[in-house]
Amino acid sequence: MSNSSPKPCAIAVMAKAPRPGKVKTRLVPPLTPQTAAALSASFLRDITENIVLAAQRSPIQGYIAYAPAGLEMLFDGVLAPGTDLVLADGSGDLPPGVEGFGRCLVQAVMSLFDRGHDAVCVLNSDSPTLPTDLLAQAARALATEGDRVVLGPADDGGYYLLGMKAPHWHLFEDIAWSTERVADQTRARVRALDLELVELPVWYDVDDCGALLRLLRGFADEPAGGSLAPYPAPVTAACIERLNLGADLAAGMAVP
């Protein structure tokens, strides 16, 4: 009889290597490719540090599910200590009917289950202030008996997190990626699979100038109280101040 304990829930951040011109392109302009890449790297540090903090509340192992292959060295010094890497470039023999970004998600999920994790979450790389408790809640929901899916919906109609206890690749089939229909289509896939759905509170992605303004205003406001207080994202805040990104943003668009 094996005495090995179950592996903790894997939470994998879907991320491109932080290269100028390849990341946060919807913020260019008003940001430059170089400052957008610096901002992306700061997001990755904060998000992986947030996963480490959540792991103090529920068993979690953090990963970066990265692309493209061969640029692993660009994550050196960027991530929280203890963060592992798993390739998620959409390559290899993957299930039919899954296209586009879904191939990257399926590859990450299947690879992490192959590593022996009992539950896997994929997480976006655009929410540096995601409340830590939402990550811990996802892991706790997936640790209880019975098959289920955990969905963290974003306010733009997508999702910031999707977690599962088995590699249900149908969750990624025929999804209109990068549209406001993603979360609703995913809910429909969960119903079709006859699985329990656990929904987390809505949060937001920082993937355009309006959302970046929201992030800047959040840093200026007093921290919210309660269990859903935003993660303070200190590396992102320092990056914004160091590179004066708020001035770049204000110069490039009308600020309401």
**At 4, is the pLDDT very low, low, confident or very high (cuts 50, 70, 90)?**
low
Sign of CA dihedral 143, 123, 171, 179: positive
Region 236-241: mean pLDDT is 95
Task: Please name the CATH architecture into which domain 9-252 falls.
Answer: Alpha-Beta Complex (3.90)
Determine the pLDDT at residue 6.
73
Beta strands in 78-211 (DSSP E): 84-87, 120-123, 148-153, 159-164, 196-199
The 10 Å Cβ neighbour count of residue 21 is 12
The 10 Å Cβ neighbour count of residue 16 is 22
Q: Cα 18 vs. chain centroid, distance in angstroms?
A: 15
Domain ranges of the chain: 9-252
Q: Cα 246 vs. chain centroid, distance in angstroms?
A: 23
Closest to 107 measured CA to CA, from 92, 127, 128, 123: 92
pTM above threshold 0.85: yes
43 backbone dihedrals φ, ψ, rounded to 5°? -60, -45
What's the chain's average pLDDT? 91
Q: Give dist(CA 245, CA 254) in Å, integer.
A: 15
pLDDT above 70 as % of the chain: 93
Q: Give me Rg for the CA atoms of the chain.
A: 18
User: What are 140-172's pLDDT values in tens digits?
Assistant: 999 999 999 999 999 999 999 999 999 999 999
Beta partners for residue 67, in sequence order = 16
Beta partners for residue 196, in sequence order = 148
Residue 105 contacts residue 14 (beta carbons within 8 Å): yes
